[in-house]
Structures are given as C-alpha cells and as structure tokens.
Chains A and B, each alone.
Chain A
C-alpha cells in the first residue's frame, strides 16, 4: 500500500504564529499560558488560557481577508493553512485540482462568536454577518471556497481527538486513491462556550496545568490551528519529505461521556492498533506526545494504558503544558510538534511537573535533549470516549 508522506506544515498557537517561534518556545520550555485578553468573561481574571495575542482585526489584515462573516476559528485555520501549502510548495492550480482534498477538524466552529450566536439563534435581530458561520463545517466551507478545492472536502468533530482523525481520514483518502494530496488539520479558538462548558465539568485548573503531576488540578484551555500537507509516495517528484504518516487508529472507550474508563481501554486500543497498522512493535516507539491534559482522570488513565502497552514506557511529554488544550486543533498541533521532534532529533521539556502519580509512577521528560528518534506517537482522546493515536516516522 502506498506510503503517505508529510510534505509541508503550518501552525499558530500561543507560542507564536510560525514554526520557528513554536520550536523556539518548545526548546526554551516556554509556557505561553496566561490571562485572557481578547474577550470579556467572568473567568478572564481567575483562569488561565493559551491565548493567541493577535486580534481578529490583526489576523484579517495579515491574511488579507476582506469578506464578511469569517470567524476567528476560520482565521486561525487560514493562517496555518497558508503556511502549510507554502511550505509544501503547492500551487494554486494544484490546490483546485480534483485530486486535492481538504480535511478539517474543529469543535467550536463559529461558536466563539457567543454574543452574535445568542442573538441569531434566538432571533433577536435580522441576522448578523456571521449567520452562516456558526457550524463546524463553516471553516471547511470557507477554505474550500477561498482556494476552490474540488476534491473531497470534510470536517470531523470527535471532540478533542478531532484532528487526529482528520490526519487519519486524509491518509486513508490517499491510500485508497481518492486524492493525491490532502491538506489536513485542525483549528479551534477560545470561546465563552467552551470555557463555561469545561468549567461546569470542574476540569479547568485555577493555576498552570501540570500534566502527569500528582497534584494536577485540571487543564488550561488554549487556541490554535495546524495543518499538514499529506502526499502519496506515487505523487512525490521533488517535494521535500519531512515525515511519514506510518500508523493511526481510532477506538472508543465506550464507558462515559466525559471521563475515561479506569484501565483506559479506549486509549490502549488506539495505541495498540496504531502500532499494528504501522507494522511496529511497542519497542519501536522512541517518544510519545501524550494527550496529557492535566486533568485527574486523563493523566492517570493514559499513564495506565501506556504501562499496559509498553514494556518500558518511552520518553514522553505533554505540550499542553506550553500552550494549553487546543481541543479540536490539538491533534494536528501535536503532530506538527512530533514532526519537529523527528526533524531535529530532539525532545522538548514538559512543564510544571513535580511529583509522579502514585499509581503509575510515570515521569515526563523535563529538560531539552538531543536523542535518536525514529518513530513518535501522538495521542488524542476526546469526550464521548473518542480515542485516536497517530504514529509519525522519520524518513
């Protein structure tokens, strides 16, 4: 079966709006989580967020977006998308060929426009400029229209594992021969909706999130977007290849809408099946970018599932300690970070860890190091038991 390669990538997070800024921040162990500035919320002062400090007006200017009704979620996506296609050297003509596909993940859509949505949904007025931009599909529709993409276009929402599934769907479109190149990725922006949602579940940390720490107290919400350009090996002429999408799997925990089962069957199955699909054994994985949200439930269960699968748990970190949990974007953002691990043969420090969880005794990497990395695993688990793992490999 044809191999699927990554030939370009783009990213915007609280660490910065370029690949370089993100790598610098990761190398320096920078935590970009802080106070919320861009919109008023009761929690702006009391909780911490991985916010991108570009206003919507700045983003629109930077990106030359002059049409109305474009949400922040779409603007972040466009920024990362532009970088990715530029990095891969894809022409406008190639983009609008029928063999180019687009697969986007997000969970917030235009719901970041809380006030406008409230007005429009309750019909208090005659319709704001954002009336057709609230659904998750709106981001894909916006990019499809802007770049006249004619192949299969899809939007996936499996909560926090959404963009891992977008990568997976894109890779499969190539393997099946439905597309030559697929731009895959995820985006989500901070929203009053998700802040209050996660707050109602009591899983937002009052301080900085501390993945895999014994005294962790929840997650910090973040925002961002990342895109990867995937191309089949048959389509490679002289493109630079930056990684291979070696394996992936999706499994369900089938336990509870918002917590993982004690033994982590979903996470275990996702990791195990991704290995099988990649034709690798647990010993082949050099590094794991964990889901590692910093919630009580996730980190313990994920740790337990890793112990179940790996005889010796590989080096691991959680980059959510740098940028917060970017929900539907996290799988794609973390895939980009994994590719940075592979390209530069380096591991970035996981932050805010002090003491290991009693039951699992797992300790994340806490300092920058150079090391040999051939295969990395990226975990993404979401509400509804939606668990996915992606394996990226050096070429």
Chain B
C-alpha cells in the first residue's frame, strides 16, 4: 500500500490541465482519441520526431517533474508503447525492400521508449522499467511500485500507464474482434448487444510514496488473475474484499471497466451481485475507450472522485445512494481473461 500525490491525466475527456468531467466528450467511428495538449516545454524539433505515445507520456510527466526534483525512479505500464512507430518502420522495411532506413522509428518503436525518454528528460538515473503484459501491464507497474516502496520507505516514484490508438493497433484489434463492427458513439456504449468495444487511448501519471500528508488517495491493495472462469473470478473477488476491507468498511463505489462487449456482461453482473445493495456501480470506458492500460485512467478517475466527492451522472450504472465515498474498488477486465481489482481509499 502507498499514497498517491500529484497526478496528470491526458485522455479523450477534459482532464488536462484541469479536469471537467460533467459533460461527456463525444466521439465517432469507434475511436476515442486523447485531447492532445499544446506540448509547451517540449522543443519543436524533438516533438516532431516523437510518436504519439512518447509525446503523451512526456507531456503528462513534465508537470510532475517540475513538482518533484527528487524522483527515485520511473515505472511505466504500456502494452504497445510506440505501435505507430513500430509499424511505420515495418512498412519501410517492406516498401523499401530492406533498403537504407532511418533509425528514428525503430528507436521509438521499442516499448521502453516512453520510460527511457522520461529518464532522459528528467536526467533521472534511478530505477527505470517498462511493463508490457497486455491488459495487466499497468497493474504490474503498480505491483512493482508497491514492492519498491516497501523496500525503500523514503522513496518517491513516478508511476504511469499509457497506450495509443494507431491505425495499426486499431486494425489488429478490429481483426481480433475487440472493436465493434457497427459504428457507435461513446454515449451509447452500454446500450447495444453486440461484440467488441470502442478503441481508446490516454496517459495517466502518478507520483507515489509512503507519505500520507497531503496525499490525494491511499492505494491499499491490488489483485490480478488470468482466468475465463466466472466462478474462479468471483472467488478471487470475495477473497480480495475479505482480506482488504475491515468489517466496518464498505465498498462505496465499484468502478468497472464494462466496455459494451456483450460477451462479458455477465461477468460484471456476477461481481456486482457480490457487493452490498448500497454500493454505487459506475463505469468509465465510455470516457476513455478500451485499451490495455485503461485501468490507469480508472485509477486517476478514482482519485478525482475521492477528492471531489462527485460521480458524474454519465458514469452511474446504479443510483448514487451514498453521502460519502471513502472506498473505491476498481475492476478491470481485458478481453475476458486478464482481470484486476484495486482498492483505493480516501486519506
């Protein structure tokens, strides 16, 4: 367990530099693109050579570097890193039949490009790592941060999750059946009865340490599991709740990654039925779209909810029956087999 301090989120919603979440930003054609900022502070020449993932990552981290000159390391979760650069380079290989190629796209195509650029920008020689385990890439980044903070009580780390929509991963996700065949808007994400979701992207960064003073939230526990068995998942969830919440505590908000893919609706229903009647159920994928590290958006959003004691109407699946939201459980489900539960509490 640890504390979350400053955060930055660049997403398809209004989250940067200040958040305004009441009004849902609408997207079309099954793609929720992040609202890219003006990138002040990144020299134009460097910016031009950056792929979107690197650009977003650096833009989100720069304000946090300004506030913290003593970060002990950089921990990033990203399933694809710079997919756009990766396929650009691949296309060059094919189109120029392995001719003379420029290395820029290759260097930026590696998944660790974001974490390493952040190390480079902040001259940070500390721990630097990139977790890429698809739908649990960000979760492993959290586990890593948690273990580091347990060993190094005085340390402060930058923790982040990000992925981009590139033409290429959209094509691949589409062919995999992860994207809806019919075109919908994000406002209608939960109303259809079809397979697939809508693509999303974004970056969320967190400054984390063991200091409760002035913290936004308290990250208390995380559990991951690979399974396609609902019964096993339910058992893991029950155990997670029993182990991490005291008898006096309740889950005030259950924030789920429901994504409009009707194949997994029953999974969410099964888990919701485990919780008490008065737990508020809310959803977030209509805000950020589906991507492997979308749980980083959910973590940012949960911190915002705890701080503001407000759940925007468009997020609610059940009615808001709580006076105070103190404990939030975030549930993430990537393609029905990679799951995570996180418990976040008010400080």
A and B found bound together: yes
Cross-chain contact A385 with B106 (CB below 8 angstroms): no
Specify the main secondary structure of chain A where it touches its partner: mixed
Complex: A254 Cα to B147 Cα, angstroms: 23
Are B119 and A169 closer than 8 Å at their CB atoms?
no
Question: Is B127's CB within 8 Å of the partner chain A?
Answer: yes
Q: Which of A132, A137, A149 contacts B132 (CB 8 A)?
A: A137
In the assembled complex, the Cα of A251 lies from the Cα of B128 at a distance in Å of 6
Whether A254 contacts B125 by the Cβ 8 Å rule is: yes
Instruction: Please pick, from A126, A152, A250, A254, the residue contacting B140 in the complex, using a CB distance under 8 A.
Output: A152
Would you give the shortest CB distance from A268 to chain B, in whole angstroms?
Answer: 10
The answer on a CB contact under 8 Å between A150 and B81 is no
Which interface residue of B81, B97, B122, B134 has the most chain A CB atoms within 10 A?
Answer: B134
CB nearest to B175 among chain A residues: A127
User: Interface on A for B, CB 8 Å cutoff?
Assistant: 41-43, 107, 111, 114-115, 117-118, 120-123, 126-127, 131-132, 134-138, 140-141, 144-145, 149-150, 152-159, 165, 169, 172-173, 176, 178, 192-193, 195-197, 199-201, 250-258, 265-266, 269, 382-386
**Contacting residues, chain B, for A156 (C-beta < 8 A):** 129-132
CB-based contact A157/B106 at 8 Å: no
Closest 6 CB pairs of A and B: A384-B116, A137-B134, A127-B175, A197-B106, A252-B128, A121-B168
Complex interface: chain A residues within 8 A of B128 (CB): 158, 250-252, 384-386
Contacts of B93 in A (CB 8 A): 114, 192-193, 196
**Bound-state Cα–Cα, A201 to B112, Å:** 17
Residues from chain B with a CB closer than 8 A to the CB of A178 are: 143, 147
Indicate if the CB atoms of A257 and B130 lie closer than 8 Å: no
Q: Is the CB of A197 within 8 A of B175?
A: no
- Chain A neighbourhood of B137, CB < 8 A: 137, 155
Closest CB of chain B to A327's CB: distance in Å? Answer: 10
Which single member of A115, A134, A255 contacts B172 (CB below 8 Å)?
Answer: A134
B103, A157: Cβ atoms under 8 Å?
no
The smallest beta-carbon distance between A133 and chain B, in angstroms, is 10
Interface check B171, CB cutoff 8 A? yes
* Residues A257 and B134 in contact in the complex (CB < 8 Å), given A121-B172, A149-B226: no
Residue of A nearest to B86 (CB): A111
User: What is the minimal beta-carbon distance from A386 to any residue of chain B, in angstroms?
Assistant: 6
Please name the residue on chain A nearest to B97 by beta carbon: A42
Check if A193 sits within 8 Å of B112, measured CB to CB: no
The answer to whether B102 touches A122, judged by C-beta atoms less than 8 angstroms apart, is no
Q: A156-B132, A158-B130, A265-B125 are in contact. Are A120 and B98 (CB under 8 A)?
A: no
**Segment 114-139 of B: residues with Cβ below 8 Å from A:** 115-117, 119-120, 122-137
CA distance A115 to B102 in the complex (A): 20
